[in-house]
Amino acid sequence: MDDQAINHELAVPARPAEQWRRAMSDVAIRTTDLRKSFPVGRSAVAAVDGVDLEVKAGEIFGFLGPNGAGKTTVLRLLATLLPIDGGRASVAGFDVATQSGEVRRHVGYVSQLGGADDEATGYQDMILQGRLYGMSAAAAAARARELAELLGLSEFAERKIKTYSGGQKRRLDVASGIMHEPDVLFLDEPTTGLDPQNRANMWDQIRRLRESGTTVFLTTHYLEEADALSDHVAILDHGSVVAQGTPRELKAQIAGDAVIIRPRLDGDSISHLLDRFVSASMVRNGQVEGDALRLYVDDGPSALPQLFALLEAHNVAIDSVSLSEPSLDDVFLRQTGRSLRDAGRSEGNGS
Amino acid sequence: MRTLRDIWLLFQRPFLQNLRNPSFVIVNISTPLMYLVLFMPLLKRLSGPAFASGHIVQVFLPGIIALLFVTAGTGSVFPTIFELKKGLIERLRVTPTSRLALLTGPMLSWVAWTLISSAVIVALSVPFGFTVHAAGLAVFAILLVLLLTVFAAWVTAVAVLMKGEITSISGIVVGLNLPIILLGGVMLPLALAPTWLRALAHLDPLYYAVEAGRDLAAGAVATTAVGVAFAVLGPLAGLALWWAMRVYRKAVA
């Protein structure tokens, strides 16, 4: 009887830290006023300027923004590759500043470069990764075979990585990142440079990871990718989050539609035409996109006749007109005044 | 324990990759042979107070061996640059592996390869009149590990801080190579040098290893030069490693 009582008492209370971790377990990542600056010359430039994020456990979270917005820096802060300057961040229930060892044990990180060892074979590379997370040689080998099967690497996993194609290498990078079954997986631009077929394949793999309970935090500068793949999206620009929510919520904020008109005009005349339209009452906003005009209106179908009337009044012939529902790019445009498709180009690379 | 296991894992990767690379294995053995064949004959006619301590090979060899460890240490920067550029180092830094293991594992593979070429050079020098004093050489080996650590840790930190920019990094490494070799007294003993040059030599970690190496090769273990070498290179290796670990923790690259 006494023994039982003691056993009972020992069994129930979990360690406080573990209790707290479990209580937090519906939130995989939380950041509060996260900050990071880098020295540029003698002054410091804020690369991450007060980022608040909340990522639920088990979801795919898309981190969208132009090149140079600070996406990779945020990822590196969360993966403990960089010390944070200010604010707080917890990942998988652990504080990145004070419990970096625990964070490392519970996250996987696949950088843009991937970081595979070209001279090793796929299996060797995966096994080394597993062993660095404390797995035994046998367990790491078994897990590597399992992942090779799952991600379709079996055919070439015995070959040296330097012989792999881009898509093969990217799948191997992901396999290495999940060798230790992390709670949270960071994927930095997982599909950049992949052809459409490999991209679709990668999307499938990422969805499958979510099914297995892994929280996936991915950065992308592809609108379609963030839209199609993510349960929640945060849009980052100049180191700050400008919008956060489900893709549907974000797009719903953009009341109205976009009308894309392709007039038979050259560049300068298109800009003039844009000015005319923007001063017209039913057009809220607009921009030039190559040889086309994108106009935002409250109600596309009813605005079209008025737009046609305006075109006729100015004697402008058109090649085509199309009507589109809001995209995440429209969300970005509304928050920043720029199009995501153009935003990265003028700001150089290296986010 | 965990750290030792990780060091072993990270030691194996570069060591085995070098082993599978025939050109590396050949150069690893042929370079020390070049020193012996191309330089040793020049020493035959040399004599003077600086060489009074013993047979000429006995004086010359420790310097060459110490130099091999310095070049292995600084040379380790090139694979490091490559691995930085491939994101491999970043990938390893995300794992819970200790930062000490991340740095010393690959370093020890350079130690192992340089010990192999040194053993070859020692064995081949015996016919030239080199006398093997096992205890002295064993102590020398420990000193050489410290020497390699100083240079390898230092260049690794520099490489990471300079974000793997190969032009600047190799400029620094190559630029420092010559003064390090000359001030170390590898080619000719600094006993021949004017006072100011001998004073300057004390800034060169290689100098201490070479001075101690000459005593140790002669079988004299408990000498001032040996004591000074450990007193300088031990803390210096610790300092360099500490700096490199700090850089690894905060690295931007």
pLDDT tens for B133-143 read 999 999 999 99
Which pLDDT belongs to residue A106? 95
Say yes or no to pLDDT of A252 above 90. Answer: no
Q: Which pLDDT score, from 0 to 100, does residue B33 have?
A: 81
Closest CA to B104 of B248, B230, B252, B228: B248
Instruction: For tokens 């950065």, name the residue.
Output: A219
Q: Mind listing the pLDDT tens digit for each residue in B74-111? A: 999 999 999 999 999 999 999 999 999 999 999 999 99
- Is the per-residue pLDDT at A3 higher than 80? no
Tokens of B46: 């040399």
For chains A and B, count residue pairs whose Cβ atoms are closer than 8 Å. Answer: 66
CB atoms within 10 A of CB A174: 22
pLDDT at A325: 76
Q: Please state, as a whole number, how many other Cβ atoms lie within 10 Å of the Cβ of residue A77.
A: 26
Q: How far apart are CA A329 and CA A348, in angstroms?
A: 19
Res A344: pLDDT? 53
Comparing alpha-carbon positions, the chain A residue that sits nearest to B18 is A119
Q: What is the pLDDT of residue A224?
A: 86
User: What pLDDT shows up at residue A6?
Assistant: 42
Q: What are A184's strand-pairing partners?
A: A107, A215
Q: Is the pLDDT of residue A86 over 60?
A: yes
Give the residue-averaged pLDDT of A86-102. 93
> Would the CB atoms of B249 and A83 count as touching at under 8 Å?
yes
Of A46-60, A203-217, A320-334, B64-78, the one with minimum mean pLDDT is A320-334
Residue B60: both structure tokens together: 């010359």
Share of chain A above pLDDT 70, in %: 89
Query: What's residue A347's pLDDT?
Result: 42
How many angstroms separate the Cα of A160 from the Cα of each of A117, A137, B52, B208, B223? 9, 20, 55, 43, 51
Q: Say what the pLDDT of residue A307 is.
A: 85
Give the fold, CATH level 3, of A255-325.
Alpha-Beta Plaits (3.30.70)
**Extents of the domains making up chain A:** 21-251, 255-325
pLDDT average, residue stretch B188-210: 87
Pick the CATH number of A21-251 from 1.20.120.1760, 3.30.930.10, 3.40.50.300, 3.40.630.10: 3.40.50.300
Residue in A38, A83, A104 closest to B95 by CB: A104
Q: What is the pLDDT of residue B154?
A: 94
CB A43 within 8 A of CB A214: no
Average pLDDT over residues A138-146: 96
How close, in Å, is residue A83 to chain B by CA atoms?
6
Position A63 scores a pLDDT of 93
| Interface residues on A facing B, Cβ-Cβ cutoff 8 A | 38, 79-83, 101, 104-105, 107-109, 111-120, 128-129, 131-134, 176
The residues spanned by each domain of chain B are 2-40+55-250
Verify whether the Cβ–Cβ distance A132 to B96 is below 8 Å. yes
B residues 85-124 lying closer than 8 A (beta carbon) to A: 85-97
Cβ distance of B95 and A115 shorter than 8 Å:
no
In the block, tokens 């986010």 appear at A351
Out of A103-112, A195-204, B195-204, the most confident range is: A103-112
- Over the stretch A209-239, which tens digit does the pLDDT of each residue have? 999 889 999 999 888 888 899 999 999 999 9
pLDDT score recorded for residue A2: 45
Provide, rounded to the nearest whole percent, the portion of chain A with pLDDT above 90.
51
pLDDT at B130 over 90: no
